[in-house]
Amino acid sequence: MKRVASAVLLFAVLGVAAASAQDINADRAAVMRANGAGVAALRALTTNFDAAAVKVQAAILAGNGAKIAALFAPGTDQTNPQASPAIWTDAAGFKVAADKFTADANALMTVSDGAGLTAALATLQSNCAGCHKAYRVAAPPRPAP
Ligand code: HEC
């Protein structure tokens, strides 16, 4: 009886751990997709400049920077095969990368025309590429048919 109870408890605990790993990885992917959507919206605004609309997207991206720092913080789940172990072995470096992304997103707030936005967007996007190069593991290629 006691053994059954502890087996049930063990399954419950494992179930919760699996669910939260899934949740955090879904949250991480959602933030990254929001980054993609934000960049696309800003790219459209380079030719159709609207300062208020730029600020809305900049605020979303800056918020995403803070979320990235939190979602990959020390002690968070490391089971996502696309998240490099370097995120946690070099947690300080990862935090610097996330904070720089946040700062460059905030800098978008100050642009005053399409050319300024184009330049600031290029700076912001160098963060995507830089962080992915250092801390993201590309999905394995699909096997040849
Ligand atoms: C500070 C680090 C960092 C920055 C900055 C960053 N990313 Fe990521 N990104 C990651 C990591 C780590 C992964 C892999 C883990 C994952 O997919 O959750 C990832 C994965 C992704 C994915 C795949 C998501 C999925 O469905 O699994 C997309 C799309 C993406 N990033 C877009 C962007 C864009 C666009 C930007 C810039 C506007 C950006 N990222 C900035 C770290 C970063």
Cβ partners under 8 Å of residue 77, min gap 6: 20, 21, 24, 25
Task: Determine whether the shortest distance from the Cβ of 46 to ligand 1 is under 6 A.
Answer: no
pLDDT of residue 6: 63
The CA distance from 28 to 71, in Å, is 6
| Centroid of ligand 1 to alpha carbon of 128 (angstroms) | 7
Provide the pLDDT for residue 120: 98
Distance 20 CA to ligand 1 centre (A): 19
How far, in Å, from the CA of 12 to the mean position of ligand 1?
Answer: 31
What pLDDT does 15 receive?
A: 52
Taking a C-beta distance cutoff of 8 angstroms, is the pair 10, 47 a contact?
A: no
Q: What is the pLDDT of residue 139?
A: 77
- Smallest CA-to-CA distance from 111 within 19, 45, 38, 22 is with 45
How many whole angstroms from 145 Cα to the centroid of ligand 1? 28
Q: What is the chain's alpha carbon radius of gyration, rounded to the nearest angstrom?
A: 19
What is the reported pLDDT for 48?
97
Residue nearest to atom 32 of ligand 1 (CA): 32
Indicate the Cα dihedral angle 41, 60, 49, 112, nearest 10°.
-150
Which value, to the nearest 10 degrees, does the dihedral of the CA atoms of residues 22, 27, 30, 36 take? -120
Mutate to test the pocket of ligand 1, among 61, 76, 104, 132 (most ligand atoms within 8 A of CB): 132
Q: What's the gap between Cα 40 and its chain centre?
A: 16
Distance separating alpha carbons of residues 132 and 145, to the nearest angstrom: 28
Which mean pLDDT values do the consecutive 10-residue runs of the chain (145 residues) have?
Answer: 60 58 92 98 98 98 98 95 96 98 98 98 98 91 76
Q: What is the pLDDT of residue 10?
A: 55
| 121 Cβ contact list (under 8 Å, min separation 6) | 39, 42, 43, 46, 108
